Structure 1
Amino acid sequence: MGIEMVLDMAVSVHPDRLAVGRRDSGMTYQQLNDAASRGAGVLTEHGAAHLVFVGVNGPVLPVLTFAAARAGIPIAPLNYRLATDQLRDLIGQLERPMIVADPAYRDTLDGAADTVLTSAQFLELAGSAGHTVAGVAPDDATAVVLFTSGTTSAPKGVLLRHQHLLSYLLNTVEFGSAAEQDATLVSTPPYHIAGMGAVLSNIYAGRRMVYLPDFTPQGWLDVVRGEGIIGAMVVPTMLARIVEHLNGAPGDAPTLASLAYGGARMPQPVLERALEAFPDTGFVNAYGLTETSSTIAVLGPDDHREALADPSIRGRLSSVGRIVPGMQAQIRDEDGTVLADGETGLLWVRGAQVSGEYMGKGSALDAEGWFPTRDQARIEDGYLYIGGRADDTIIRGGENIAPAEIEDVLVHHDDVREVAVIGVPDDEWGERICAVIVPNAADHVGPEEIRTWCRERLRGSRTPDEVVFVDELPRTATGKLVRRDLVARVAG
């Protein structure tokens, strides 16, 4: 049995409850169920082996997700922000694709597959489909293909099988736990694991999903207040913009019981300001990877409030919390030796929700089922701290330096809005440390003042060799820093 059982169970319990959309125009579970079955019929009639979606997050995504599952084929949501030739290249890696795209992308993808439809055209075809399909997918079949963001290398297609997604769901979400009036706001893109995870976890819980395809801070606040949103997930850049927009004013979101964030490192000052702006909201830091079918560690609401109130454990706000049930974690050195509590090394994880499998490349799991995340990390008092990607390590004079160690200090400077620390080539040291800063205002301190401030708080070898001020940092839509672009810009 595959992820189609999530909708099967939900529609059997509350067919008339709203599943997707606004209060006055939403789709019920029965309507979603019918549309998915008819959509599966369309996919079967066209002989599709993959369903490609290129578009913003919206009500069509749950329909496509369960239509593909019932047709027994994977869905592959692609990053609509990619250039046309990049999109075509990714589509070309998929067998017999059918493409469903937003109108803005439909024409540019003409000819990339035998069938290219807009979302409206797909739903219209589904409405007149000659037959419906309500199949049961084998649990070892591929349910979703997600391409990695490509921040450190070319995008790779991660194969998430039904068993991986169901394992995550069954270990972390309680079936039918949502009340009828509960609604969640989804603003993460469909090509991100959080976007796909939102479909499954909210349908399984019986919670209405409201979509915000084009994020603005005021637009986000308006939907939270107007739709009585009780839960939402944002990436750090979104939360930073919300906090900046509020400018010290209260969030004024009385129904917002839970606010989750993840996808990239959260600057601690931004988090502290957000906790103050939404004092009655439970904050959740969710850490995971595409290859692990979403969340593998959680810093919960109590952890956030206790750390904010107690300076002696304030540092926990920079952790990603504790490993979730069903998952195991180890910190290893480069030679594979398991390190002791508190030591920094490479994070390896194991569990039934872990895929670690790439299209055309096989599995990255070791003989005992452990997956190398390539994240630098340490586990201290049961809390997991992520220090950045192993590929981001700066090697200066033979010493390994984690950018996060310096970034976590610099982000507390009053003149620093955002910061990224990178290594740039150097004839003497191999690499030199460069701090790239987005200042809070046009009138800010100079590079030497930043270096002096840093030297007072870090070892001399961690003091940036140079400081560069920029207007913005290159990031993906989910807030991940694209370091290779930044290195190329600074080195150039």
Structure 2
Amino acid sequence: MSFTDWPWRYWRMQWADKPALRLNDETLSWRRLCARVEGLAAGFQHQGLREGDGVLLLGHNHPQTLLAWLALLQCGARILPVNPQLPPPLLDVLLPQMTLRFALVLDGHYDGLTALNMAEQTGAGGVAWQPERLASMTLTSGSTGVPKAAVHSCAAHLASAAGVLALMPYGDDDDWLLSLPLFHVSGQGILWRWLLAGARLTVRDKRPLEQGLAGCTHASLVPTQLWRLLNSESQVALKAVLLGGAAIPVELTQTAREKGIRTYCGYGLTEFASTVCAKEADGEPDIGRALPGRDVRVVDGEVWLRAQSMAAGYWRDGELLPLTNAQGWFATRDRGEWRNGRLTILGRMDNLFFSGGEGIQPETVERIIATHPQINQVFIVPLDDAEFGQRPVAVVECEPGADIASFPEWVKGRLARFQQPVRWLILPTELKNGGIKVSRRALQQWVNASFKR
């Protein structure tokens, strides 16, 4: 679909009084949503916000965050959404490169920019719809832990949404829970699928998942969340779940199917506004085929990508730094291979290490360990070793009460001997990096420093 106006205005013209958005227990029609957005946009403009201005948006997911996002878009702002838990020293290094004028702080604290507030004004605020205008700046750390901001236009976000909806039905009477934060590209993906489909979206303050999902037909979850939901006594209306974040057991997809829930999985990057390849989950290790509008190559074992959803570049000091190589492709540094026309991601090329002459791809080991019911996430990092060169160490985040001492016995028979971790450690809170992707480099430095003391 090609919009000629802001998507929420387009849907107001189609069905003004149809429910569009559930904010906690309040339901807004497309007409009422437009009125709220235009009032906020007028308020932002009254405070001095102009088209092209950079705005720091500091907030967790809640109704105010969603409304602020739409109003900032309608003002033509360039939005940098940031996790309020991001460490202040990192913000102090990062933000001066982002060319920002204002900060809208809904959670947390930041004094370094002119503050915006959520005061509404009468009248229809905002600027004309220009789909190619730069709209979002999303932090990505890659494998280095050094945040960069990938910049997308509205057109790129809509192209991303169109590809996912070509695989995953989401009709105008369906309702997707905004279960992922807008400071992650996966959360933005949910937002733009809603706007493209003209369906419904639900935004709720922090609640147990079962309560948050009440009345929702679609959700984006990790396998652990879906397991808990299926094993609970809660009655849910889910039709479809987009899974991410870990290996997906066949038993999980079968159990979901028996309850009428279709499950999907895929592969995505911040630079491509979320999902690039996807499939209906079938327990196989591949991540499916390229979605419409995406091109994928494997060159010398490395995955290269092009897509309509690709970012315009990385933002630094008012300029866009290019993403593509000399051939016009984005070289992902992911190792991949084609199997029966479907792409399998083997892991990061940068992460491969050798132990006693045996190559260890951390992601391969992690996929197996992540199937343990008490492990929420796991990282395999190399520990320097005089005899073997390097040995694998597991750094895990577990369920409360989990017995980490039992894990070495559990992996026997599941992993080759050279793949089995020689140490198991709990992921420190300070290395979670405020919600940005955990830095493997920082983990490796921490592990090696821990055993040199």
Asked if TM exceeds 0.5, the reply is: yes
Q: How big is the shift at 1:30?
A: 1.6
Q: Secondary structure at the match of 1:109?
A: coil
Q: How big is the shift at 1:40?
A: 3.0
Q: Tell me the residue number matched to 2:14.
A: 13
> How many residue pairs end up in the alignment?
436
Q: Tell me the residue number matched to 1:220.
A: 209
Matched, 1:488 2:445: yes
CA–CA separation in structure 1 for the residues paired with 2:54 and 2:398:
45
Q: Tell me the residue number matched to 2:252.
A: 273
Matched, 1:258 2:240: yes
What is the 5 A alignment of 1:146-161? Answer: 146-149=138-141, 152-161=144-153
Whether contact under 8 Å (1:188, 1:478) holds in the other structure is: no
Q: Tell me the residue number matched to 2:263.
A: 283
Whether contact under 8 Å (1:251, 1:278) holds in the other structure is: no
Q: How big is the shift at 1:371?
A: 0.6
What is the 5 A alignment of 1:334-353? Answer: 345-353=301-309
Q: Tell me the residue number matched to 2:413.
A: 453
Whether contact under 8 Å (2:86, 2:433) holds in the other structure is: no
Whether contact under 8 Å (1:146, 1:192) holds in the other structure is: yes
What is the 5 A alignment of 1:52-451? Answer: 52-102=56-106, 104-105=107-108, 108-110=109-111, 112-117=112-117, 122=118, 124=119, 126=120, 128-129=121-122, 132-137=125-130, 139-149=131-141, 152-173=144-165, 181-214=173-206, 219-224=208-213, 226=214, 228-234=215-221, 236=222, 239-241=223-225, 243-244=227-228, 248-249=231-232, 252-253=235-236, 255-262=237-244, 264=245, 266-269=246-249, 272-273=251-252, 275-276=254-255, 279=258, 280-300=260-280, 304=281, 307=282, 314=283, 316=284, 318-333=285-300, 345-355=301-311, 357-360=313-316, 362-396=321-355, 400-411=359-370, 419-436=378-395, 441-442=402-403, 445=406, 447=408, 449=409
Q: How big is the shift at 1:394?
A: 1.7
CA–CA separation in structure 2 for the residues paired with 1:165 and 1:417:
29
The one-letter code sitting in structure 2 at the alignment partner of 1:69 is L
Structure 1's 482 and 272: CA in aligned 2 closer, same or farther, altered over 3 A?
farther
Structure 1's 470 and 275: CA in aligned 2 closer, same or farther, altered over 3 A?
farther
CA–CA separation in structure 2 for the residues paired with 1:62 and 1:415:
33
Partner deviation per Cα, 1:153-184 (whole Å, 9 max, x = no partner): 2100111123322332344447xx86564321
Structure having the larger proportion of residues in helix: 1
CA–CA separation in structure 2 for the residues paired with 1:181 and 1:14:
12
The one-letter code sitting in structure 2 at the alignment partner of 1:93 is Q
Q: Secondary structure at the match of 1:152?
A: coil
- Which structure 2 residue ranges, 5 or more long, are not aligned? none
Q: How big is the shift at 1:8?
A: 2.8
CA–CA separation in structure 2 for the residues paired with 1:414 and 1:140:
44
CA–CA separation in structure 2 for the residues paired with 1:50 and 1:2:
24
Partner deviation per Cα, 1:237-269 (whole Å, 9 max, x = no partner): xx41452576x456642x21001122x3x1334
Whether contact under 8 Å (2:162, 2:196) holds in the other structure is: no
Structure 1's 212 and 88: CA in aligned 2 closer, same or farther, altered over 3 A?
farther
Q: How big is the shift at 1:190?
A: 0.9
Whether contact under 8 Å (1:347, 1:372) holds in the other structure is: yes
Whether contact under 8 Å (1:183, 1:207) holds in the other structure is: yes
Structure 1's 163 and 16: CA in aligned 2 closer, same or farther, altered over 3 A?
same
Structure 1's 207 and 143: CA in aligned 2 closer, same or farther, altered over 3 A?
same
Q: How big is the shift at 1:480?
A: 5.0
Which TM-score applies when normalising by structure 1? 0.78
Partner deviation per Cα, 1:362-411 (whole Å, 9 max, x = no partner): 11202332111222222211222222323322233565421122234445
Whether contact under 8 Å (2:140, 2:436) holds in the other structure is: no
Which TM-score applies when normalising by structure 2? 0.84
Q: How big is the shift at 1:446?
A: 7.0
Whether contact under 8 Å (1:231, 1:256) holds in the other structure is: yes
Q: How big is the shift at 1:38?
A: 3.3
Partner deviation per Cα, 1:210-253 (whole Å, 9 max, x = no partner): 124425xxx211232x3x2110112x2xx41452576x456642
Q: How big is the shift at 1:77?
A: 0.9
Partner deviation per Cα, 1:59-80 (whole Å, 9 max, x = no partner): 3344333323332221211121
Moved more, 467-476 or 75-84: 467-476
- Which structure 1 residue ranges, 5 or more long, are not aligned? 308-313, 334-344
Whether contact under 8 Å (1:7, 1:204) holds in the other structure is: no
Whether contact under 8 Å (2:153, 2:312) holds in the other structure is: no
Structure 1's 438 and 294: CA in aligned 2 closer, same or farther, altered over 3 A?
closer
Q: Tell me the residue number matched to 2:419.
A: 463
Identity of aligned residues (%): 22
The one-letter code sitting in structure 1 at the alignment partner of 2:139 is F
Q: How big is the shift at 1:82?
A: 0.5
Q: Secondary structure at the match of 1:285?
A: strand
